[in-house]
Structure 1
Amino acid sequence: MQTLSKEMTFKNFINNEWIDSSSQETVKSISPMNKEEIVGYIQNSTKDDLEKAVRAAHQAKKAWRKLGQAQRGQYLYKAANILEENLEDIAKTMTKEMGKTLPEAKGETARGVAILRYYAGEGMRKNGDVIPSSDKDALMFTKRTPLGAVGVITPWNFPVAIPIWKIAPALVYGNTVVFKPATEAAVTAAKVIECFAQAGLPEGVLNFITGSGFVIGQGLIDHPLLNGITFTGSETVGQGVAKSASARGIKYQLEMGGKNPVIVTKDADLDAAAEAVISGGFRSAGQKCTASSRVIVEQEVYEAFKEKLIQETEKIKVGNGLKEGIWMGPCASESQFNTVKKYIEIGREEGAVLVSGGKVLTGEEFDKGFYLTPAIFDKVTPDMTIAQEEIFGPVIGLMKANDLEEAIEIANNTKFGLSASIFTTNIGSLLEFIDEIEAGLVRINAESAGVELQAPFGGMKSSSTGSREQGEAAQEFYTSIKTVFIKG
């Protein structure tokens, strides 16, 4: 790991050197559990710093591509081992910096290790196919060729898993990377990059730069030397990525959130459904793009399910995620805290009934942090703001449906289409749901949140654009197909 100053200042990693920004300015990362606690300082980088990072990646791409896929995979194995050795420290940093509980942070970091090992294994898998030619004396085959230098822009809610599931396939398939994390989780991201640095990657292959979205994020999106952009974040910024990348004719990959429904049918196991809705809606304080936010319940079991949901939700212990027994931590930042409070107020104003939680926690333990209790709204209608806009917080809206057909219609009534789940014991209902739901991730008798690293991940409609992430599907974005014809 970096040799840190007393102020825990983390530098940019450019061309295999940890360097200060040319601005000589830093930005502090504060803990959402206690806004007086500084987790560390990161660089407030400039356009000149970005230029150095992009040029380093651009100059390194030819040699990295020529190294060979198997050899590239070996670097990921090394990085995985180093990340595993530092799992405890990185998980604690994540909890301090963005608030999720320590068990969740450990689980996410372990997932990062698994993702690295998965893509390290890709180094020994095929990268093309032999295709029969109409000419019997010819050989025809395809091979995958890397894009070149790619920009990676990630959010704060999964500061280990999301960067790794973008960076690992980019590297093993032969691309070089310039990585910009969200400022709110940049200290955690820096510690992840230290693991890659210790793995001994060649100069310029992986570059890490921190700074504002306006300067560094937009600069990456617009830079002419980058051959692809992968982005996870808000829909507004994602649309800007698409516009810029399309204008330059480069590949782009976007994941822009969701408004994920859970349908509970009249024949469902209500205990299992309530448990999954709570986990899917309130783990990580609801700050997951796949989090459950709309719960659509058939009218015959609506009241019984609501009672179970409220009863179990009110058992949730909110507090400092480093403490034993804490189930939910704070919102990740003051900005997100204020956003969630705003949506709770909008819900009330539009006629939804707050039947549980949604209260700011006060007292010595809470006054310096961004804590509130998980909120459940009743009498939510499909046209309400809280039923249409992504809140990205611990807020669930209950909606009543007359039957499964109406429930699916309500579920699809949104511009998003990332994930969706249903709880039912009727095979006909689950098959209808699979066919009719407009979502990229469909889960049966399981929470809407969660995706396995070996499976494609992405959504429909405004949730995603471009090819899927994770699993073998990642190859579709990070490579192009080259068809080769050899005449004997």
Structure 2
Amino acid sequence: MWIKLLKSAHEALLIWKKVPASERAQFIYRFIELLDENKERLGKALCREQGKPLNEALTEVTRGVSEMRFVAGEAVRLEGLTLPSDRRGVINMAVRVPIGVVAAITPWNFPVLTPLRKVIPALICGCTVVLKPATNTPLTSVIITELLEKALLPAGTINLVIGSGRKVGDALVGHPLVKGVSFTGSTQVGRNIYETAAKNFTKVQLELGGNNPAVVAEYQDLEDGASQIVAGCYGNAGQRCTAIGRVIVLDKQADELEKLLVEKIQAFKVGNGMDPDTKIGPVVSESARQTLVNYMELAKKEGAHIVVGGRSLTEGQYQNGYYFEPTLISGVSPDMAVAKEEIFGPVLILIRVSSFDEAITVSNNTEYGLTASVFTDNMNLAYRYLEDVESGMVHINNGTVSEGHMPFGGVKNSGVGPYSIGGTNKDFYTELKVAYIQHK
């Protein structure tokens, strides 16, 4: 099945890449209208399939509508380059051309926004796409594909295949007709994709894991800092690559900050995502919940202290879902596994340090480098952090919320290839063709 879809994408590419970019955008604008009209349908499907609270789900879809309007506008911003020649009568230029068929492999945690962020930029740039969503959240991709068809995109420009990563994903990545792979998911899977793609010199854009720090140092409004930290940690039940996983606080403010964090965490209601009062829904699967249970045991074994939460919820209303309490762990040293690894759930680690230099060192004490925050009234410290933290994105006095027109990506084991989302997307979905034109 996937071979037929791949051939369909390749055949469609020969036509689609010759459609003027502004004309390609008109298809996408029609799709955006349909996306906007189907926000509630998509939001409810997302909530029921993935588990995040309905308000979060609707926000994800609304953000997708907004971001795609920016992406559609990129059609008229696919600029090239002209440079003067060293020779008389010669014009030198470089133009952007689509890379070809793209395999878009998307995760379960943002099953509306992530497919949109891959499929729509690819189409705008003149590529065709084979979309493979995560096997436990395929429904939203089915709806997105349906809406693209209703927008009258030519047959073969968007192709949907559902199957396991090992059977379908690996085959797509390794096929010579695939010229680009855009993947969002775990670092280990990304590493495997990178190795497979390298055999054909296939271009990759990999958005991988994160273990993101939030440093608090000389910040007077701890109430604000605590609010932003818990929002950055527990949204989508902590199942976000940009979630704040570690709060690193100087000793003199640690007690007060911990108290505020506990108060805010205890106010969260855990429950079914369709309940409007729910702030934290279930995690995505039983294996995900068991991973959290294992991390709690490891934290206690390493000598850390679970201040609040730390348990599965299985009784009463929680029988039919994979619920886990929002958790705060203190007494953590930087070398503990729970401090260095990506837990990917509603768990926040609190680490106390004695100096700002130590805070920077602890921030960097992980294989990841996706995003980082610092809360401080001392702008000298803010600029030091901006310069010294090993992170693709840095937030000063705000949580780890990205914006749809800004580049998105990480360093170290958090990402490979051109940054996505903003204008840098064209660096992945296109390549330069250089021309030397002699005129009389």
Structures share a fold, TM > 0.5? Answer: yes
1:264 and 2:216 equivalent?
A: yes
Q: SS where residue 249 of structure 2 aligns?
A: strand
| 2:407 aligned to which of 444, 456, 462 | 456
| Partner secondary structure for residue 76 of structure 2 | coil
Q: Deviation string for 1:263-318 (max 9, x for gaps)?
A: 01133421111101100111110000000001100001111111111111101111
Structure 2 residue 286 is matched with structure 1 residue 334: yes
Name the counterpart of 1:400. Answer: 352
Q: Mean alpha-carbon deviation: is it higher for 320-329 or for 431-440? A: 320-329
User: Which deviations, in whole Å up to 9, do the C-alpha atoms of 1:153-174 show, x marking residues without a partner?
Assistant: 0000000111111111111101
- On the 8 A contact 1:154/1:231 being kept in 2, the answer is yes
Sequence identity of aligned pairs in percent?
39
Alignment equivalent of 1:483, drawn from 412, 421, 434: 434
What SS class does the counterpart of residue 254 from structure 1 fall into? strand
Q: Secondary structure at the match of 2:307?
A: strand
Q: Does 1:284 align with 2:255?
A: no
Which digits, 9 at most, give the CA deviation of each residue in 1:96-141, with x for residues without a partner?
0111111111111011112221121112224312222222422211
RMSD of aligned C-alpha atoms? 1.0
Q: 1:466 aligns with which of 417, 420, 436?
A: 417
SS of alignment partner, residue 414 of structure 1: coil
| Counterpart Cα distance in 2 of 1:189 and 1:247 | 29
AA at the equivalent of 2:13: K
CA contact (8 A) 1:318 1:329 kept: yes
2:258 is aligned to: 306
The answer to whether the 8 Å contact 2:273/2:280 transfers is yes
1:144-198 deviation line (CA, Å, top 9, x unaligned) = 0111101010000000111111111111101000000001110122111111111
Using structure 2 for the length normalisation, give the TM-score.
0.98
User: Offset of 1:203 from its aligned partner?
Assistant: 1.2
Give 5+ residue unaligned stretches, structure 1.
1-48
SS of the equivalent of 1:185 reads: coil
Q: Could you tell me which residue of structure 2 aligns to residue 380 of structure 1?
A: 332
The corresponding residue for 2:205 is: 253
- Check if 1:192 corresponds to 2:152: no
Checking the alignment, whether the CA contact within 8 Å between 2:218 and 2:377 is kept in structure 1 is no
Q: Does 1:318 align with 2:286?
A: no
Deviations for 1:229-280, whole angstroms, at most 9, x for unmatched residues? 1111111111111111111112011111100000011334211111011001
Counterpart secondary structure, 2:199: helix
Is the 1:231–1:238 Cα contact (8 Å) retained in structure 2?
yes
Tell me, yes or no, if the aligned pair for 2:55 and 2:276 is still in contact at 8 Å.
no
Q: Which residue of 2 aligns with 1:430?
A: 382
SS in 2 for 1:66: coil
Equivalent residue runs for 1:173-192 within 5 Å: 173-192=125-144
Is the 8 Å Cα contact of residues 352 and 377 (structure 1) preserved in structure 2? yes
- Alpha-carbon distance in 1 for matches of 2:403, 2:288: 27
**Per-residue CA distance 1:405-459 (angstroms, 9 max, x = gap):** 11010000101000000000011010000000100010011112x2111000000
Q: Deviations over 1:301-345 (max 9, x none)?
A: 111111111111101111111112111111012221111121122
Provide TM-score, normalisation by structure 1.
Answer: 0.89
Tell me, yes or no, if the aligned pair for 2:283 and 2:323 is still in contact at 8 Å.
yes
Contact 1:57–1:178 (Cα < 8 Å) also in 2 = yes
Quick one: which amino acid aligns to residue 205 of structure 1?
T
Are the structure 2 counterparts of residues 442 and 283 from structure 1 closer, same or farther at C-alpha, using a change threshold of 3 Å?
same
Residue identity matched to 2:9: A
Aligned-partner residue type, residue 452 of structure 1: E
* Correspondence for 1:158: 110
Q: Name the residue aligned to 1:115.
A: 67
Aligned equivalents of 2:145 and 2:138: distance in 1? Answer: 10
Any conservation in 2 of the 1:98–1:333 contact (CA below 8 Å)? no
**Corresponding residue of 1:51:** 3
Pairing partner for 2:53 from 101, 104, 109: 101
Q: Which residue of 2 aligns with 1:445?
A: 397
Q: How far apart, in 2, do the equivalents of 1:97 and 1:358 lie?
A: 24
Which residue of the other structure, out of 94, 99, 106, is the alignment partner of 1:147? 99
Q: 1:339–1:424: structure 2 CA closer, same or farther, 3 Å change rule?
A: same
Tell me if structure 1 keeps the 8 A contact 2:282–2:322.
Answer: yes
Distance 1:148 1:348 in 2: 50
**Structure 2 unmatched ranges of 5 or more:** none
Distance 1:204 1:191 in 2: 16
Whether the 8 Å CA contact 1:115–1:168 is kept in 2: the answer is: no
What is the number of equivalent residue pairs in this alignment? 439
Question: C-alpha separation between the residues in 1 aligned to 2:192 and 2:279?
Answer: 37
Which residue is equivalent to 2:246? 294
Shift of 1:389: 1.2
2:20 partner letter: G
CA distance in 2, matches of 1:444, 1:320: 33
